[in-house]
Chain A
Amino acid sequence: MKRHTLSLLLASAGLAATVTGAFAGVTLDKIVERGELVCGVSQGSAGLSLPDSNGEWSGLDVDYCRALAAAALGDPAKVRFVPLSSAQRFEVLEAGDIDVLSRNTTKTSTRDGTLPVLFVDTIFYDGQAFMVPKSLGISASTELDGATVCVQPGTVNEQNLVDYFTTNSLSFKSVVIESLPELESAFYAGRCDVYLSDASTLSASRATRAETPDDFVILPERITKSPLAPVVRSDDVEWYKLASWTRNILVEAEELGITQANVEEMKASQNPSIQRLLGVHEGIGKSFGLDDDWAARVIAGVGNYGEVYDRNLGPDTPLKLERGLNALWTDGGLMYSSPVQ
């Protein structure tokens, strides 16, 4: 009898949980209950996600997770970071061990089509480029005839490399090593003249793995496009929406001129767009299962997109990466947020 009551109790509790879950999102509930967001990041990629010697994480991908924690929990510090290799990242997300994957992941049709995940809008537009030692005196990739190129075998990079050199009737020798750290190690040891990868990977690698970063230069050409985006599971659309709009808030805040420093003053602004975003009148929080103050919390937590970018990748950082495609659409870039209204 006793056991019967217990199972009934459990069943109704379970039912209750599902019902509330339908409104606020199961993932969000779990995060609130746990008191922290679990965020999958890379094992170390400067500018995107990298731990310092005290285990403190920083980077663009990391700040996105902090923004999400500020939205969901009201505190950008309540994040646990889980470093993942590129091979295990999707498995761990699908298994539910992390809430969001923010790990320089390119959105492609295959991934979108075959994996049970949803891609948030792009937070960093990347593309493949060539890095060479400055001492070679090369300024354009058309001068690379006869060079030895370090590249990972069987990757998109390798196919693009072949296509690029063939199209431009250049010859090359390749050194193919499966593991990325070893490949980079071979490049900096001088085994190859050229290292081909995404521009962000190249600049991160140069800043952290080269003995003297100034000895290497990234050639200006981009031979492919690769939009990097955070990823969530597709079984919780509520959480996906929250993740998407957290990204949009960062971009919209930059466009509206709201910064980490002035967010409180801006609440007094007469601009209706700013008032809506910061929840002064009829904010946007309720529709996402949050309060109206959440956008303000996100901006107070990490700043706007421009601030996040400059702090992690900009000219004042060791990476010295120009905004380029990542400038706001109003400045000729691709960064764009759907309207907040």
Chain B
Amino acid sequence: MGALRSKTMIGATASVIFIFIIALLSSNGYFADVLGVLSQRAGFQIPESAFSVTAADPLYWTLLAGLINTVRVAVAAAILATLLGLVLATLRLSAFPGFRLLAGLVIEPLRNTPVVLQLFLWYGLLINNLPATRNAVEILPSVFLSNRGLALPTITSDGLSFPELTGFNFTGGMTVSPELAALLFGLTLFHASYLAEIFRAGIMSVPSGQVDAAKALGLRFYRRMRLVVLPQALNFIIPPSTNQFLALVKNSSLAVAIGFPDLVAVVSTLINQSGDAVLGTVIVVVAFLGLNLVLSGGLALYHRSQMQRGKPSLSVSLPEPEKAQWDDWVKTPWRKAGTIALGLLGTYLLWQLLKWSVVQAVWIGSPDECRAASGACWAMITEKYRLILLGPYPLGLGWRPVLATLVLALSLIFAARYVRRKPHYALPGIGIAIAGWYWLMGGGLTLPVVNIALWGGLPLTIALSVLSIFLALPIGLALALARMSPLRILSAPAYIVIDIFRSVPQIFLLFGIAILMPHILPAGWTPDKFWRALFALIMITSAYMAEVFRAGLLAVPPGQAEAARSLGMNRLTIFTLVVLPQAVRIAWPAIVNTFVGAIKDTSLVFIVGLMDVLAATKAAVVDPSWRLYSLEGYFFTAMIYFAICYSLARYARRFERLR
């Protein structure tokens, strides 16, 4: 109860103080006017909602429709993701290595690419590859599938209502739009892959003696899971899956990227239209702090009612799946059959994939040649690779961002190795590396100037990732220390900053900060959107990093500091030489996972108009002649993200095993 109450208190204080700050910032009498603004005619119409909303309805009604859209997508995706996550976890824990392999092949690509990229991919497939309304496919009686969505019969007060093609669209029944479908599908798959790993860890935490005992009692798999394993695993599963559900609620706001009217999309339209960024920001922050509270509070209550035995684990480390022995594949006749069947299926799928991606693919050529071929159209990448990789950076100067990125990444990694041993070399080194990177990117002195608006592609993604990670380390540590401080004056602001940056969707933080920054900074000082986006990314990563550091610092046995004190060390030395190194060592896997999150978060900067590698890919795939090959474009970029994120995640896991 204590945790829940303090969480409620902090959330409430956070929102109150935030509103207070905004009220102070905004001009006199602003909030007296809010009710007036909210009951004005909205002036824009949202494409879909749970109840009827038109442009003539008051603004609060439209905002409410947006909030309900957010909640209904989140609830539906949470249920579907839980079910799919359970299936994947069961497969991954199977004694039969074939199933483990299968689950891994599904889970790893989903976990190690940005969810927004996955959404673009699904949406592109839906609208480009499904038939037009007039050629809608009737997949079941009275169920029509077209690029306008899925039309289904529904029950109304007048009885059954069937969809019918009249005029422009299907009327009657109900329609699931492609936007909603892509969003649900994308969120479900992405979060199922995370939940699967949490469930797996939870199930593995149940002592094997329990399973053996259940087996001895003759319980079959299903009853064993339902009666013995899952109830015990829940204790370990609930805290981390609470975080997953919170992330899911936040990610539902990626709807704005594909045109589904959730709360954030409605608010961003409102801001675009009225220019009133302050009101919009307050609405989103309060709504998400509220959703966060309801969800974490609800799950905490449920957790308490379920917790009968065992201690809850605060962090879940992911055990490696057992290494498969050949014997495991063929131990029983069933497994032999399964191995053969999977082998055949795998060979068939692999052959199909090879056929699509290599044998029948077009590597160089025109869109017409692609249309004639049945394989993948890599010619699209051959044609557009420069746009995807370097964005709008001027032709002929492409070597500069490549070199700049190498200088930045290598020297920062190098400096990180020496920052503890030789800080007087490493710290200026970091400064020189950043200055060198900036000079190579932007020019000046002897190099031709390149306006910051033209920076883009992979160098932009890497620069945003590397800079936000490196600057978030000290800021995150400072936030963690402030939050753990016994002084209210330090801990309260840290609480609020961490809470807001962790509760509000990243995409809205980027958007809101980019818009609000010029209002808060002194007049005439308007940093480019690159700097605004970088600032937002640093703050987001710092807030996550702060919690990771805090967990690490709390996990260092207090005896360590006491022992150091008895040796006569002062507080600073104790912290830097004894506590911090151990905390970092303990938290290192989680820190690296935060890096992975930060890299994936950079894919959201398209919202402020930056051309990172994903935005550049989007620009490439909407070229009309290559429109049908969006899959290839997103696939290419997904592989870049996967290569970076998966190797970092493997690296983090290696540390976990060492521990």
A16 touches B (CB below 8 Å): no
B132 contacts A162, C-beta separation under 8 Å:
no
- Give the interface centre of A84, A85, A95, A186 by most chain B CB atoms within 10 Å: A186
Contact indicator per residue, chain B 22-48, by CB within 8 Å of chain A (1) or not (0) = 000000000000000000000111110
Q: Which residue of B lies closest to A136 (CB)?
A: B168
Inter-chain contacts of A55 with B (CB < 8 A): 395
Q: Name 13 extra pairs, CB < 8 A, besides A153-B269, A162-B55, A176-B47.
A: A84-B453, A87-B609, A146-B169, A147-B168, A153-B265, A154-B44, A159-B43, A162-B45, A178-B257, A185-B128, A185-B624, A189-B127, A189-B128
B104 touches A (CB below 8 Å): no
B147 contacts A179, C-beta separation under 8 Å:
no
State in angstroms the CA–CA spacing of A179 and B606 once bound together.
Answer: 10
The minimal Cβ–Cβ distance linking A101 to chain B, given in whole angstroms, is 13
B169 contacts A173, C-beta separation under 8 Å:
yes
Flag the segment in A206-214, A220-228, A248-256 that touches B: A206-214
12 A–B contact pairs at CB < 8 A? A55-B395, A91-B528, A92-B453, A136-B168, A145-B167, A153-B44, A154-B270, A162-B43, A166-B55, A174-B47, A177-B259, A188-B624
B624 contacts A173, C-beta separation under 8 Å:
no
A154 contacts B609, C-beta separation under 8 Å:
no
The minimal Cβ–Cβ distance linking B427 to chain A, given in whole angstroms, is 32
- Give the interface centre of A153, A159, A193 by most chain B CB atoms within 10 Å: A153
A153 contacts B148, C-beta separation under 8 Å:
no
B residues contacting A by CB (< 8 A) are 43-47, 55-56, 127-128, 132-133, 147-148, 166-169, 171, 178-179, 256-259, 261, 265, 268-273, 392, 395, 449, 451, 453, 528, 606, 609, 618-619, 622-624, 627
A175 contacts B47, C-beta separation under 8 Å:
yes
Inter-chain contacts of A43 with B (CB < 8 A): 392
Q: How large is the interface on A (under 10, 10 to 19, 20 to 34, 35 or more residues)?
A: 35 or more
State in angstroms the CA–CA spacing of A185 and B624 once bound together.
Answer: 7
A176 contacts B259, C-beta separation under 8 Å:
yes
State in angstroms the CA–CA spacing of A302 and B132 once bound together.
Answer: 44
A92 contacts B451, C-beta separation under 8 Å:
yes
B453 contacts A91, C-beta separation under 8 Å:
yes
- Give the interface centre of A158, A182, A191 by most chain B CB atoms within 10 Å: A191
Inter-chain contacts of A92 with B (CB < 8 A): 451, 453
Q: Which residue of B lies closest to A184 (CB)?
A: B622
State in angstroms the CA–CA spacing of A43 and B229 once bound together.
Answer: 59
The minimal Cβ–Cβ distance linking A165 to chain B, given in whole angstroms, is 9
State in angstroms the CA–CA spacing of A176 and B47 once bound together.
Answer: 8
A190 touches B (CB below 8 Å): yes
Within 8 A of B (CB), among A193-231: 193, 208-211
A182 contacts B392, C-beta separation under 8 Å:
no
The 8 Å CB contact of B268, one of A154, A162, A188, is: A154
CB-CB under 8 A for A148 and B273, given A154-B268, A210-B624: no
State in angstroms the CA–CA spacing of A196 and B501 once bound together.
Answer: 37
Q: Which 6 A-B residue pairings sit nearest by Cβ, starting from the closest?
A: A154-B272, A181-B622, A209-B624, A190-B132, A162-B55, A153-B269
State in angstroms the CA–CA spacing of A186 and B177 once bound together.
Answer: 13
State in angstroms the CA–CA spacing of A57 and B528 once bound together.
Answer: 28
The 8 Å CB contact of A159, one of B46, B257, B273, B609, is: B273
The 8 Å CB contact of A155, one of B45, B127, B272, B449, is: B272
Q: Which residue of A lies closest to B627 (CB)?
A: A185
Inter-chain contacts of A179 with B (CB < 8 A): 606, 618, 622
B169 contacts A148, C-beta separation under 8 Å:
yes
Inter-chain contacts of A184 with B (CB < 8 A): 622, 624
The minimal Cβ–Cβ distance linking A207 to chain B, given in whole angstroms, is 10
The minimal Cβ–Cβ distance linking A3 to chain B, given in whole angstroms, is 21
State in angstroms the CA–CA spacing of A88 and B258 once bound together.
Answer: 23
The minimal Cβ–Cβ distance linking A189 to chain B, given in whole angstroms, is 5
B258 contacts A85, C-beta separation under 8 Å:
no
Inter-chain contacts of A166 with B (CB < 8 A): 55-56
The 8 Å CB contact of B619, one of A146, A174, A175, A181, is: A181
A188 contacts B627, C-beta separation under 8 Å:
yes
Inter-chain contacts of B56 with A (CB < 8 A): 166
A112 touches B (CB below 8 Å): no
B269 contacts A97, C-beta separation under 8 Å:
no
- Give the interface centre of A147, A154, A159 by most chain B CB atoms within 10 Å: A154
A83 touches B (CB below 8 Å): yes
Inter-chain contacts of B619 with A (CB < 8 A): 181
The minimal Cβ–Cβ distance linking B57 to chain A, given in whole angstroms, is 12
B147 contacts A88, C-beta separation under 8 Å:
no
- Give the interface centre of A85, A88, A182, A184 by most chain B CB atoms within 10 Å: A182
Inter-chain contacts of B46 with A (CB < 8 A): 174, 176
State in angstroms the CA–CA spacing of A97 and B528 once bound together.
Answer: 14
Inter-chain contacts of A83 with B (CB < 8 A): 392
Within 8 A of B (CB), among A121-155: 136, 145-148, 153-155
Inter-chain contacts of B272 with A (CB < 8 A): 153-155
A178 contacts B451, C-beta separation under 8 Å:
no
State in angstroms the CA–CA spacing of A57 and B259 once bound together.
Answer: 33
Inter-chain contacts of B622 with A (CB < 8 A): 179, 181-182, 184-185
- Give the interface centre of A97, A176, A179, A209 by most chain B CB atoms within 10 Å: A176
CB-CB under 8 A for A154 and B273, given A83-B392, A147-B168, A191-B147: yes
Inter-chain contacts of B623 with A (CB < 8 A): 181
Inter-chain contacts of B167 with A (CB < 8 A): 145-147
B627 contacts A189, C-beta separation under 8 Å:
yes
CB-CB under 8 A for A191 and B178, given A154-B44, A162-B55, A208-B624: yes
State in angstroms the CA–CA spacing of A153 and B511 once bound together.
Answer: 15
CB-CB under 8 A for A191 and B127, given A148-B148, A154-B269: yes
The minimal Cβ–Cβ distance linking B33 to chain A, given in whole angstroms, is 21
The 8 Å CB contact of B609, one of A85, A95, A176, A188, is: A85
- Give the interface centre of B45, B273, B623 by most chain A CB atoms within 10 Å: B45
State in angstroms the CA–CA spacing of A162 and B272 once bound together.
Answer: 16
Inter-chain contacts of B178 with A (CB < 8 A): 191
A182 contacts B147, C-beta separation under 8 Å:
no
A159 contacts B44, C-beta separation under 8 Å:
yes
State in angstroms the CA–CA spacing of A80 and B261 once bound together.
Answer: 41
The minimal Cβ–Cβ distance linking B52 to chain A, given in whole angstroms, is 11
Inter-chain contacts of B453 with A (CB < 8 A): 84-85, 88, 91-92
Inter-chain contacts of B261 with A (CB < 8 A): 176
A190 contacts B451, C-beta separation under 8 Å:
no
Inter-chain contacts of A85 with B (CB < 8 A): 453, 609
